[in-house]
Amino acid sequence: MQAWVSERIIHVGAEAEVGLGTYLGQPAIAKIRRPRGWRHPELDARLTRRRMMAEARLLTKLARAGLPVPLIQDFDIAASRLIMTLLPGRPLIEHLRDSNSVQSAESVLVESGELVRRLHRQGITHGDLSTNNILYCHQQGASLIDFGLSRITEEVEDFGIDLHVMHEILGASHPDHGQAMEWIIKGYLSVDGEHGPPPFAGGGPLPSAEEVVLRLKDIMTRVRYHG
Ligand SMILES: Nc1ncnc2c1ncn2[C@@H]1O[C@H](COP(=O)(O)OP(=O)(O)O)[C@@H](O)[C@H]1O
Ligand SMILES: [Mg+2]
């Protein structure tokens, strides 16, 4: 029996093709990195391998820490293919566009903010916090996908930039949700209130949620004045 059975391609991005199928009979997702024609083939293969390894390593670390992220099922470096569990729910972008959503945008965004803070408390940034990379399911809540640009860090600036990406995307794609970023921040700040200061990461102390939010405001001002 073949372990991975492909059903259909659900997404073709700049770097990867994402397929839906089953792995050992269970619903699964295969992410296949595509060669980038304009790059030197050897360099391309090396970069692809490094990115995939980083994504797989961070996903494993986060799943062990109990965060809602896909579980890795199989990792085939030669085929540039990562197979992971299919997470339930729809991307945040769809929830925000759907005015008939059962749950209010507020609770979905507050929960997403909490999840981003839980990620940062592991000393990890996501790198691409768009409303496509957060899934939300009414039964199981928010989860995170797409860790290709994720990094280990203790720098307040890196966490601030992670939130700033989100701020820009919410402003550009969801102008009808004017309070969206406030709700994200509300969730982001609530986690430290409940769990105390962030745990020590490998390299040094992690910034508090308040410090990161202050830095976000600083970055917003910088961007406003310097473009
Ligand atoms: N584990 C998963 N569970 C459910 N849907 C997923 C999963 N991984 C990817 N997807 C879907 O495929 C899309 C593209 O995957 P993603 O990893 O974000 O690729 P890209 O790097 O091209 O953005 C996502 O926006 C989501 O809709
Ligand atoms: Mg994505």
Which pLDDT score is estimated for 164?
A: 98
Q: What is the pLDDT of residue 99?
A: 61
State the Cα–Cα distance between residues 162 and 134, nearest whole angstrom. Answer: 13
Coil, helix or strand for 142? strand
Whole-angstrom distance, CA of residue 106 vs CA of residue 177: 9
Q: What is the mean pLDDT of residues 22-26?
A: 97
Residue 80 near residue 32, CB atoms below 8 Å: yes
Position 187 scores a pLDDT of 98
Q: Is 170 exposed, middle or buried (0-12, 13-18, 19+ CB in 10 A)?
A: buried
Pick from 12, 29, 134 the residue to mutate for probing ligand 1's pocket: most ligand atoms within 8 Å of its CB. 29
pLDDT band with cut points at 50, 70 and 90 for residue 174: confident
Q: Closest-lying ligand to the alpha carbon of 9?
A: 1
- Ordered structural domains, the chain, with CATH: 4-85 (3.30.200.20), 90-226 (1.10.510.10)
Q: Is 129 exposed, middle or buried (0-12, 13-18, 19+ CB in 10 A)?
A: buried
What is residue 100's predicted lDDT score, i.e. its pLDDT?
Answer: 61
Q: What would the mean pLDDT of 18-36 be, rounded to a whole number?
A: 93
Would you give the distance in Å from CA 41 to the centre of its chain? 28
Q: Provide the pLDDT for residue 227.
A: 67
The confidence score (pLDDT) of residue 158 equals: 98
pLDDT higher than 70, residue 138:
yes
Distance 205 CA to ligand 1 centre (A): 32
Q: How far is the CA of 218 from the centre of ligand 1 (A)?
A: 31
How far, in Å, CA of 122 to CA of 58, rounded? 10
Tens of pLDDT, residue by residue over 55-108, are 999 999 999 999 999 999 999 988 899 999 999 999 999 999 886 655 689 999
Rounded Cα gap, residues 210 and 185, in angstroms? 10
Which amino acid is present at 220?
Answer: M
Nearest ligand atom owner, CA of 128: 2
Q: How many CB atoms lie within 10 A of CB 107?
A: 14
Q: How confident is the model at residue 135 (pLDDT cuts 50, 70, 90)?
A: very high
Could you tell me where the DSSP H helices lie in 147-208? 156-173, 180-195
Catalytic member of 128, 146, 176, 218: 128
Mean pLDDT of 43-50: 86
192 as an active site residue: the answer is no
Average pLDDT rounded to a whole number, residues 1-13: 92
Q: What is the pLDDT of residues 175-188, one digit of tens each?
A: 888 899 999 999 99
Residues 135-161: what's their mean pLDDT?
96
pLDDT at 204: 79
pLDDT in tens, 190-204: 999 888 888 876 777
CA gap 131, 126 in Å, rounded: 12
What average pLDDT does this structure show over 169-173? 91
Contact 70, 59 (CB under 8 A): yes
Using only C-alpha atoms, the chain has a radius of gyration, in whole angstroms, of 18
